[in-house]
Amino acid sequence: MKHPLSLALAIAVAGMAAAPVLVQAQQTAVSGAESLQGNPFLEKSTLPLEYPHFDRIRDEHFAPAFDAGMRQNLAEVEAIATNPEAPTFENTILELEKSGQLLGRAVRVFFNLVGTDTNDTRKQLQADYSARFAAHQDAIALNPQLFERIETLHENRDSLGLDAEGVRLVERYYTDFVRSGAKLDDAQKARLKEINAELAELGTKFSQNVLAEVNDSAVVVDTREELDGLTEAQISAAAEAAKSRGHEGKYVITLLNTTGQPPLSQLTNRDLRERIFKASVARGARGNEWDNTGIIAQVVKLRDERAKMLGYPNHATYVLEDETAKTPQAVNDMLGQLAPAAVANARREAADLQAMIDQEQAAKGEASFELEPWDWAFYTEKVRQARYDFDESQLKPYFEMKSVLEDGVFHAANQFYGISFKERTDLPKYHPDTWIYDVFDADGSQLAIFIFDPYARDSKRGGAWMNSYVSQSELEGTSPVVANHQNIPKPQAGEPTLLTWDEVITMFHEFGHALHGMFSDVTYPYFSGTSVPRDFVEFPSQVNEMWADWPSILANYAKHHETGEPMPQELLDKVLETARFNQGFATTEYLAAAMLDQRLHQAEGDAIPAADEIVRFEAEALAADGIDFAAVPPRYKLPYFSHIMGGYSAGYYAYIWSEVLDANTVKWIEEHGGLTRANGDRFRATLLSQGGSKDALQLFRDFSGADPDITPLLEKRGLVVPDTDDGAPPEAEPTTLPADS
């Protein structure tokens, strides 16, 4: 996320991580400040590290803080733009870096709460303000006097006496302003403002529809018998969910915002599996009030118009220019290189599943049936059991949530980086199901505050993500307050929270983003923590996944929640073995979504689908890319593909793009002694602490001493198609699925 003005907003929408926002409280009098009497956003929080005053923040505080914050910000910008003195780095760039304090504080808390615990008031505020925030950003980005100053500084950037980070900051401001339309003529600027306002409103509506549809599509089940295969705890949770939704005596299977749904791996009732799957994939295109197809069509059309106005053939070209990928061709080449191997592996896996179905049906004396998408997870589990003699449910007792966090995720960070953690209970919470930790550096000084928010709830958006309440910067003297969010089903009171292996991996992944935020050591807010290209930002988080199954780490946290017994060695070995399993499916469903995103945003003019063509467009795009394997649908279908309406438009490829760097880095660490403080300190010093203050690929080279190579990724995902196909499952290392939704 690059544009300093759009950060807080874009991040909240995209679920992307921290960012430099407008910082430092300016003590200038704000007109209308009297209406902010007692408003907790008016001043910096006095809590440790400026942790937000959740005990004082009420929903009615947001609108006045937004209004006054925008007024204050515009006044600051106007003062910078009309300063009679010649532009200097200090009176222009630094003043911009320090501006917008009040707005930044309010916006960050607001969008964090909209993502984690929304309600009707917050939804209404989001709808009311999305276009106004877009207009506010445009008022700054399209201010001609301001741009003139930035342009002058940019021309003279090498003679301003700045260090490398300062020069880069000037370059980034210049690029951001140009990409935001600063060089357009007045008529174009006027049209651009209309487009941005409309896109903001459409984006808000899209995300609200996704949440409404995932809740509305929950599947009601009449009898307990149909739930055969679920655990007692899951059945009670389903009964509880039914009760809270007014279906007392029945059961409700709630959905996640992915195409696949976890209970599909367990439910023996094939009809119910089919119902759940069909409910999942129908979301957002049902012709009801939450139908998203019209929004997608309109958004893509507006993005195309904007891209052309800015001098690009399409939205994807515009977006990718500012990423490490640089061009659609580079992205297409990479995805195209991976797709055939992924589909070939998925077809091999499907053959195994079909054999299992045929064998089972024959044993029952019944006719066989063809593998359907709602059968995949169920029979994969059976093949896994047959091949490795164990199933997922044997693992769960060893993955108690708090133990995974403290004895796994934290322990790994302690071993690699020397940092330590202490829970604190004195700070106010925005929701009772959150945990707060002080994070200490190796020398005992406080490094950050970490908020852990693991449970799913109807008011929380899908997926997992990291965000930031306070970002580190030397200019502001701030230290990070960061949070991790997941959607782990909450057990009934008194029951332990036992995780799946995927949930364990996701916890390590998100904490990798948190480390990127917490280790930030930059001068300017703009470059703080995860403020890097989005096709780079997933790289450090993916690297952190490597500790989940690192033997000494796994042994430290994988203990039976009742007996404390360590996970038996043979089960542990199986975890490692089966992590190599089902990778054709995982890669194919991911690539299908990534390629759909590219097709949609590389489309131009008449090729952009209308609302009633979205479903057909999707099918044709998958076929054209050779990734239309019916048994493995895309991880997200367009009508609930939140990434592409938010900050990941033309950017879902970023996960696998980042994974090239991840695979190279994991290999480097393994070849240099593995889990050592020396390796951790090196990764922190060369990369994690640098934020966006240097070119992203340079950071990678600084760490590894080499350019990235695609081979380790291909090996890791088992995507090297063997010359002679002997039918054996391909060898692959444990993979990293996109853990963020």
Catalytic residues: 510
441: its two tokens: 């550096």
Least spacing, CB of residue 123 vs Zn ion, in Å: 25
Which residue's Cβ lies closest to Zn ion?
740
Complex with Zn ion: residue 166 or 738, whichever CB lies closer: 738
Q: With beta carbons less than 8 A apart as the criterion, state whether 627 and 335 touch.
A: no
Cα angle for residues 581, 586, 591 (degrees, 5° grid):
145
If one counts every other C-beta atom within 10 angstroms of the C-beta of residue 37, the result is: 8
Non-local CB neighbours of 346 within 8 Å, separated by 6+ positions: 584, 585, 587, 588, 629, 631, 632
3-state secondary structure 459-485: CCCCCCEEEEEECCECCCCECCEEEEE
Q: Which is nearer to Zn ion, 111 or 290 (CB)?
A: 111
Closest CB to Zn ion among residues 251, 450: 450
Map residue 435 onto helix, strand or coil.
strand
Cβ proximity to Zn ion, 535 vs 625, nearer residue: 535
- Which residues form the interface with Zn ion (CB under 5 A)? 538, 541, 740
* Residue partners of 43: CB distance under 8 A and separation at least 6: 25
CB of 541 to Zn ion, least distance (A): 4
Count other C-beta atoms under 10 Å from residue 558's C-beta: 25
Residue 306 or 461 having the CB closest to Zn ion: 461
Structure tokens at 350: 């499907």
Q: Write down the least CB distance from residue 347 to Zn ion, Å.
A: 29
- For residue 218, the 8-state DSSP code is P
Shortest CA distance to 45 belongs to which of 472, 469, 421?
469
Distance of closest approach, residue 184 Cβ to Zn ion, in angstroms: 34
Q: Minimum distance between the CB of residue 651 and Zn ion, rounded to whole angstroms?
A: 12
- Nearest distance from residue 228's CB to Zn ion, in Å? 35
Burial code (b: 16+ CB inside 10 Å, e: under 16) for 609-618 equals beeeebeebb
Least Å distance, CB 687 to Zn ion, is: 16
Residue 600: CB minimum distance to Zn ion, A: 22
Q: Which helix (H) or strand (E) holds 449?
A: strand 446-455
304/538 with CB nearer Zn ion: 538
Distance of alpha carbon 641 from alpha carbon 299, whole angstroms: 13
Of the pair 541, 664, the CB lying nearest Zn ion is at 541
Q: Are 193 and 289 in contact (CB under 8 A)?
A: no
Give the separation between CA 467 and CA 484, rounded to whole angstroms. Answer: 7
Shortest Å, Cβ 467 to Zn ion: 11
Structure-token pair, residue 367: 């006719």
Rounded CA-CA distance 603/587 in Å is 24
C-beta neighbour count of 485 within 10 angstroms: 25
| CA atoms of 263 and 177, how far apart (whole Å) | 47
Q: Compare residues 14 and 182 and give the one whose CB is closer to Zn ion.
A: 14
Residue 110: partners with Cβ closer than 8 Å, 6 or more residues away: 12, 62, 66, 122, 125
Radius of gyration in angstroms for the set of CA atoms belonging to the chain, rounded to a whole number: 25
Our CB check for Zn ion shows the closer of 349 and 538 to be 538
Please list, in sequence order, all residues whose beta carbon lies within 8 angstroms of the beta carbon of residue 206, skipping any fewer than 6 positions away.
292, 295, 296, 299, 642, 645
